[in-house]
Amino acid sequence: MSKRDSADFRVGDLIVYPAHGVGRIVSIREEELYGARAEMIVITIEQEGLRLMVPTGRVAPSGLRRLADRTLAERALEVLAGRPKGKTGTWPRRAQEYERKIRSGDLLLAAEVVRDLRAGSGSGSYSERQIYERALDRVVREVGPVLGRDTELLRRELEPSGDRKAA
């Protein structure tokens, strides 16, 4: 990423870091990295209590991106309203695929995980509920701000009538 491209991000911007979800840029500053000066984007991921520094030259490979636009956020809600995919394969294989989708940073893939795991509402294992909660958190923390919705209200709307609660 060039110096000009790093100007696309500003302090205070909400962003998505694929491995951790939605965060906020708290500063952009020069740091010494392996004996050389590098411009770093400093990000906090409040829900995980993390503070990350991403060199501006590593933004693209890291997957760091802006929040989805309104059209994509609305499409995610459509995915959530859709028919869940049937369960195929063993749980460990499905869990691995669900985790891959969540870590991809792709809003629509995270919405698919929520849709598919919500279908078994209340009957899932502990690990299934954990994956569901992680995917739901990613979706509401991105869709809420984009659509100007309170994230907790949106979470309650998307959860099936109280069947699932964080364990």
**Residue predicted with more confidence, 62 or 166:** 62
What's the pTM? Answer: 0.85
What are the tens digits of pLDDT across the range 142-155?
999 999 999 999 99
Domain 3-66 in this protein, CATH class: mainly beta
For residue 122, the model assigns a pLDDT of 60
With cut-offs at 50, 70 and 90, classify the pLDDT of residue 166: very low
pLDDT at position 5, please?
A: 52
Q: Where in the chain is the domain with CATH 2.40.10.170?
A: 3-66
Q: What's the angle, vertex CA 166, arms to CA 142 and CA 157, rounded to 5?
A: 50
Q: Which two tokens stand for residue 115?
A: 């849709």
Query: Average pLDDT for residues 125-151, to the nearest whole number?
Result: 95
Average the pLDDT over each of 36-45, 57-66, 119-128 and give the range with the smallest value. 119-128
Question: What gap in Å lies between CA 41 and CA 10, rounded to an integer?
Answer: 9
pLDDT at 160: 79
Q: Are 72 and 142 in contact (CB under 8 A)?
A: no
At 24-52, the pLDDT tens digits run 999 999 998 789 999 999 999 988 889 99
What's the confidence (pLDDT) of residue 143? Answer: 98
Least confident of 44-48, 73-77, 121-125, 160-164: 160-164
> Which residues in the chain are classed under CATH 1.20.58.1290?
70-158
Q: Which CATH number is associated with domain 70-158? A: 1.20.58.1290
Q: Is 21 left (phi over 0), alpha (psi -120 to 50) or beta?
A: left
